[in-house]
Amino acid sequence: MHFDNSGEMNRHLAAQSGGVCLLSFSGGKDSLGAWIELERYFSRIVPVYMYLIPDLAFVEREMAYFEDRFETRIIRMPHPSLYRCLRHFIFVPPERCRFIEEFNPVPFDYDDVFSIVKQDAGLPDDTYTAIGVRQEDSLNRWTSIKQHGAANEKRRTFFPIYDWKKDRLLREIRGRGIKLPESYRLFGRSFDGLDYRFLKPIHDHYPDDYQRILEWFPLAELELKRMEYREAYYD
C-alpha cells in the first residue's frame, strides 16, 4: 500500500482496524515518536517491549516511566535475539551447552511475538503492528520505503512516522513533555546488544544489572577483558 504521507496512512489504517494497533516499543526516540503519532489516530495502542535480558533494573525504570507518561501498560516479551544467543551458545560456558541443547529453545521472530500478543489481548490476527522506522535514517530504509511503501499488508506492519525528519521527531517528544530514557545518557541510543558499547557503561553505572547479565551469559565479561587487553598491548 502506498500513501502520500504518514498522516494519510495512519488515518486509513486506524479506520480499517477499528482504532486498535500494536506498537513495537524499544524505548528509543523513534518508538516514542511513533507512540505520540499513533495517539492521534488510534483509540487503543498495545505497546510491546522485547527484552534481551529479563528484569534489568534500569530497563524496568524506563518502562515504568513510559507507562506512567502514556498511562498504558507495556507488555514485556522475550526478544528473538535472546533465544538466538542461547541456541548459538553466545557467551555461554561449555558446561551449560548440554542443558541448552536439552532445553532446545525454539527459534522465533518478531511476527511470532506480535501474534502471541494479539492472541493474549484478544485481538484479531490481522491487527496491524506499528514500528518506529524513519526513511531518513539510512539509504536502505529510504529505498525500501520508496519501493515497497510504509505499510506491509502481508505482515500487517506499518511505519507511522516514516516521513518525519529528526527535528520534528525531537520537537514532538519535547512537546509531549517526555524525557529520553537513561539508555541515551549511557549509550546514545536504546539498549539492544551485548557488545562492549553496552556492557562497559552497564558495568560502570549499574553493577547489579551487569551481574544479572552475567547470570545469563557468563562469558560476556570477555568483552571487557578483550578491550583491557587491547588497551594494554596495542594502544
* Structural domains in the chain, sorted by start: 6-233 (3.40.50.620)
Q: Please say if the pLDDT value at position 235 is more than 70.
A: no
Q: What is the pTM assigned to this prediction? A: 0.93
Q: Please say if the pLDDT value at position 234 is more than 90.
A: no
Provide CB contacts within 8 A for 60, sequence distance 6+: none
Residue 17 confidence class, pLDDT cut points 50, 70, 90: very high
pLDDT tens readout for residues 52-71: 999 999 999 999 999 999 99
Provide CB contacts within 8 A for 26, sequence distance 6+: 49, 50, 132, 190, 192
Measure CA of the first residue to CA of the last residue in the chain; give whole Å: 52
Pairing between β-strand 44-51 and β-strand 129-131 as defined by DSSP bridges: unpaired
Take residue 54 and report the three cell numbers written for it.
529479563
> Percentage of the chain surpassing pLDDT 90?
87
